[in-house]
Each structure stands twice: as C-alpha cells, then as structure tokens.
C-alpha cells in the first residue's frame, strides 16, 4: 500500500518556500524592486493511480492551500504543463 507521511511532507514544503522567500528578499534588497516567482508544475510522466487519490485530495491539496495562504505574495503565476487527459479527475 502506498502512503505518505503528511507531517514530513508539509514540513519539507514549508522549508522549500522559506528558502525561496529568503532568496526573494535578498533579490529585492539588491534591486529595490518587488520580486516574485513563476511556479511551473510539470506533470510529465504522471500516471493515473487510483490508490493515490487519497493523497491528492488530502495532504497534497492541504499543502498547496497552505502555500497559497502563507506565500501568496511570492507566486506571480502558477503554470501547469504536460497535463494528462484525465487531469479533470484530479483537479
């Protein structure tokens, strides 16, 4: 059975975004201009696995909701590429 540890996943997600925030703040200090990121989410190679639907609708979705709430000012655009035909089931 496939599983994910939600706590560690969320901690790692926040660690990554805190590093990004530090980099953005450094860039803003150097340039004097507000900076942001273009987040590209590449779904190339994603295969449909019904056993993972619980993860996608649980920890994965919660993590992106948290990112949206706490790091909203960082992400200028969010682009999803190479989306499979069944993406409407997941999104």
pLDDT of residue 2: 59
23-74 pLDDT per residue, tens: 999 999 999 999 999 989 888 887 777 776 666 667 777 777 877 788 888 8
What average pLDDT does this structure show over 15-29? Answer: 93
- First-residue to last-residue Cα distance in the chain: 23
The whole domain housing 20 covers: 6-90
Q: Is the pTM of this model over 0.85?
A: no
Residue 47 located in a structural domain: yes
Domain tally, the chain: 1
In terms of C-beta density within 10 A (0-12 exposed, 13-18 middle, 19 or more buried), how is residue 9 classed? middle
The C-alpha atoms of residue 58 and residue 60 are separated, in whole angstroms, by 6
pLDDT, residue 3, reads 61
d(CA 32, CA 68): 25
């Amino acid at each position: 059975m496939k599983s994910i540890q939600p706590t560690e996943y969320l901690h790692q997600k926040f660690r990554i975004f805190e590093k990004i925030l530090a980099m953005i703040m450094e860039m803003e200090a150097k340039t004097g201009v507000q900076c942001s990121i273009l987040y590209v989410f590449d779904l190339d190679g994603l295969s449909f696995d019904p056993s993972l639907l619980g993860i996608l609708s649980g920890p994965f979705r919660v993590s992106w909701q948290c990112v949206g709430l706490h790091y909203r000012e960082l992400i200028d655009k969010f682009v999803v590429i190479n989306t499979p035909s069944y993406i409407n089931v997941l999104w």
